[in-house]
Amino acid sequence: MPLVLFDAGSTFHQKWAAQFVAADPANRKSAGISGTLGPEQVRDAIVQAARHVTGDHEIVFAVGHGGATNMDEGTVDLAPQKKLRLARGNKPGIYVDPFYDFVFPHDGVVPMSDKRFDEGQAAHEPPWSGSHTRLHHWLVYASIGTAMKANHIYRVTFLTCRVGNALDFIKKISIDWGTLVKAYRRFVVYQIDGQTGRCRAFLEGDAPGSGTNVPLGETQLPQQDFVTVGPPLPQPAQPARH
C-alpha cells in the first residue's frame, strides 16, 4: 500500500495526494507534513507513516525541493520549507549530509569520515558545539532508516525535481535506509486545471496531452525519466570450512 507524504500547506500537493488516494482507496494512503514542524517532529511523522504502510510497502515524498549538481552532489527535502534537508556538505540550511559517515580516500593522510572526526572532537567540546549538533542530526537521519527497515519499506520515491541525476547521492540514501530509492531526472510540475479543478503531476517539458502531461498524471506517478537504485543485495552464507 503506497503512502504519500505531502506538503500540508500546498493546495497543489493536497489535491494531488487526495486524487491519488481516491483512485484506489483500498490500497493507498496519504499523510500531510507541515512546514511548521521541527526536524525531529518531521522524523516522527515519517516513522509514523512507515508503521502504516502495508502491501507494496512504498513511501512517496511529495513535500519539498530536490536537485542535483553532479553524481554525488544532490539535494532532497523530507519536509516543506526546507526542513530536514539532505544535501552534501556542512552548509547553512543543510540538516545532514548522507555522506557524513563515508570515508573518502585522501592522498598522504589516514582517511577518516566527518562523523569519525566529530566523534573525536565531541569528547572535548561542550554539548552545544557543532560536532555534537552534527552527530545528533545524523542520529535523527539514521533513525528514519531504522524505521524503514523495521517496517519493511520496500521503496522510497522522491516525487521531486532532478535529484535522480545525483545517482551516487541517492544510492547512499538507499544504503542507509535499506530500501530502493526512485527519483526523477526532470523537474516535477504540479498544475491545477482551471476548469476541472484537478491537479496533475508531470515532468517539465511535456506539452499538454503528451508524455507525462496527460490525465493519468492526476492519479499516478510519472512513468518516465526516473531512476531506481537499491542497496547491495545480502551475500549468500558461505559454507563453513573444517
Q: Note whether residue 41 is domain-resident.
A: yes
- Write the DSSP symbol of residue 208: T
Q: Note whether residue 242 is domain-resident.
A: no
- From the list 7, 163, 148, the residue with the least C-alpha distance to 76 is 163
Q: Note whether residue 236 is domain-resident.
A: no
pLDDT (tens, 9 = 90+) of the chain, 242 residues, equals 799 999 999 999 999 999 999 999 999 999 999 999 999 999 999 999 999 887 779 999 999 899 998 887 899 999 999 989 999 988 889 999 999 999 987 666 668 899 998 999 888 888 878 899 999 999 999 999 999 999 999 999 999 999 999 999 999 999 999 999 999 999 999 999 999 999 999 999 999 999 999 999 999 999 999 999 998 755 545 555 54
CB 15 within 8 A of CB 8: no
CA distances from 37 to 44, 84, 172 (A): 10, 10, 25
* 39 CB neighbour count, 10 Å cutoff: 18
- From the list 131, 106, 104, 128, the residue with the least C-alpha distance to 117 is 131
Nearest 5°: the CA angle 112, 117, 119 is: 130
Q: Note whether residue 238 is domain-resident.
A: no
| pTM, to two decimals | 0.90
Query: What residues make up the domain containing 180?
Result: 3-229
How many structural domains comprise the chain?
1
Q: Note whether residue 10 is domain-resident.
A: yes
Q: Note whether residue 23 is domain-resident.
A: yes
Q: Note whether residue 57 is domain-resident.
A: yes
DSSP 3-state of 34: coil
Q: What is the pLDDT of residue 157?
A: 97
CB 45 within 8 A of CB 61: no
- What residues form DSSP beta bridges with 30? 4
CA distance 176 to 179: 8
Q: Note whether residue 81 is domain-resident.
A: yes
